[in-house]
Amino acid sequence: MMSTPVILLKEGTDSSQGVPQLVSNINACQVIAEAVRTTLGPRGMDKLIVDSRGKATISNDGATILKLLDVVHPAAKTLVDIAKSQDAEVGDGTTSVTLLAAEFLKQVKSYIEEGMHPQIIIRAFRTATHLAVKKIKEISVAVKKDDKQEQMGLLERCAATALNSKLIAGQKEFFSKMVVDAVMMLDELLPLKMIGMKKVHGGALEDSQLVAGVAFKKTFSYAGFEMQPKCYQNPKIALLNVELELKAEKDNAEVRVKSVEDYQAIVDAEWSILYDKLEKIYKSGAKEEDLKRTMMACGGSIQTSVGSMTDDVLGECALFEEVQVGGERYNFFKGCPKAKTCTIILRGGAEQFLEETERSLHDAIMIVRRAIKNDSIVAGGGAIEMELSRYLRDYSRSIPGKQQLLIGAYAKALEIIPRQLCDNAGFDATNILNKLRAKHAQGGMWYGVDVNNEDIADNFQACVWEPSVVRINALTAASEAACLILSVDETIKNPRASMDALPAGRGRGRGRPHAH
């Protein structure tokens, strides 16, 4: 007698299990890596992404690209998430982390297909990651904090390495100095929100400037403002959330006047309202208005009316001036007593270019903050990955069993970073990797890809440095993501309400049935 099949899930639900769906998930991750693969390194290309509203974004930042791609595949989303977390945590290395995770999966795909249990692979990966992180901590070079000049030079190099792969790599000396100065102006906690960025169209990139204080677009105008002095020493600042401008009557109402005197009376009435407000502000010794950053920097508190103005709610700064920047007039507050803050004013041509510059500087600022907090660095340009690869390969030969194969696979996967750097620059990757393997085996542990001369070089000497925390974070995040995807053995997709009417076809995450 036939047993009746038990229908547990809604009709149209797509469930796929076992090896085929795992392989399908791994393939999806490869596709994600393909999307950002070519953006890695100083010779990386940029991507132009147009969103649903038609806004074009040109970017080289892995996390930005993946965010804009709007990925729907559930397993591939994991890679997008680790790129975002790397961006939030360290700021740089977002492309590296995506590539590493995808490469880890690619290397073990053959073992999965041969029927090796995913848990064995996961265990091997955890061991390998643990060893790799320990090794990074051993060989990273500590930064001496005593000598301010030396520390500044070192931070500038870290910032320059982060900017190397960006659109503004040509001006990296100029910007890395600006970024380090900006971070150095902050207090011990290095709060990111105290660095403001303003974009002003026009001018050259080199016209960008760093203001030691708060700067923002001139927010209001009034009759006779051209004659007002543009520079005040030690002014008091009122932070007001009220309007000081006259409403133009032509928009709001119709007034019929018969004589000039009547018209003058109306104008006088308008001015008296304004003067009344200004009088109250003036009596409290205040001159200006602005926003939260000014409040944090200059002290005082934001008032919503002018009735309760007293001395204690006012802020102050050493110098206020109004300056022409491009086509805009800007207010600068310098020498703010309360909080240490600064504003970077970016200049440049196209909107997209300015936005990409802002993203690049954000990465560099994050890197400098990390380098100050965690004072150890490693050499970039694929050097640290090659060294870890060599170390893990040697270690794998000393252990028996399946672990040997898997840790070897992990070691091979690490080589994706130098390999991709070569590919993006148009070099012969196999040739350069062979040279690197030989050099690392002889003990040249800081040797990496030299993009400028199509060769290998000691990247520590060449000042291609990055904080070791960037690499540690990238490795652990990539390994976690790979383990997470490997540990999924069934994907069940519920049908959407609107799709009920559609015939239940093969869903997206469905693995192909295995032909035995």
95 catalytic? Reply is yes
Among 39, 94, 341, 343, which one carries the catalytic annotation? 94
Round to whole Å and give the CA distance between 88 and 310.
41
Residue 109 backbone phi and psi in degrees, to 5: -60, -40
257 token code pair: 């006047």
- Annotation marks residue 61 as catalytic: yes
Side chain identity, residue 163: L
Q: How far apart are CA 144 and CA 504, in angstroms?
A: 64
Active-site residue, selected from the candidate residues 39, 57, 95, 161: 95
CA angle 181, 156, 147 (to 5 degrees): 80
Query: Cα(298)–Cα(310) distance, rounded to whole angstroms?
Result: 16
- Tell me how far apart the alpha carbons of residues 70 and 448 are, in angstroms, rounded to a whole number: 34
Which residues lie across from 50 on neighbouring strands? 56
Which residues does residue 240 pair with via DSSP β-bridges, in sequence order? 303
How far apart (Å, rounded) are the C-alpha atoms in residues 377 and 465?
Answer: 6
DSSP class of residue 494 equals: P
Whether the Cβ atoms of residue 128 and residue 136 lie closer than 8 Å to each other: no
* 299/302 Cα distance (integer angstroms): 10
Q: Strand 239-240 relative to strand 302-303: parallel, antiparallel, unpaired?
A: parallel
Which sign does the torsion angle of CA 154, 89, 66, 471 carry?
Answer: positive
Helices 94-113 and 402-414, interaxial angle, to 10°? 150
Whether residue 94 lies in the annotated active site: yes
Question: What tokens were used for 93?
Answer: 């290395």
Say if strands 239-240 and 376-379 run parallel, antiparallel, or are unpaired. Answer: unpaired
For 130, 185, 503, the CA distances from 211, given in Å and listed in that order, are: 44, 10, 62
Taking Cα atoms as reference points, which of 220, 231, 331 lies closest to residue 278? Answer: 220
Question: With the C-alpha atoms ordered 484, 377, 411, 31, is the resulting torsion angle positive or negative?
Answer: positive
Distances in Å between the Cα of 84 and the Cα atoms of 62, 89, 90, 97, 479 are 9, 9, 10, 10, 15
Locate the DSSP E strands across 170-309. 195-201, 209-211, 213-217, 231-233, 236-237, 239-240, 302-303
Among 87, 92, 290, 363, the one annotated catalytic: 363
Q: What are phi and psi of 485, to 5 degrees?
A: -70, -35
Q: Which residue of the set 61, 87, 290, 450 is catalytic? A: 61
Q: Are 288 and 253 in contact (CB under 8 A)?
A: no
Q: Annotated catalytic sites, by residue?
A: 61, 94-95, 363
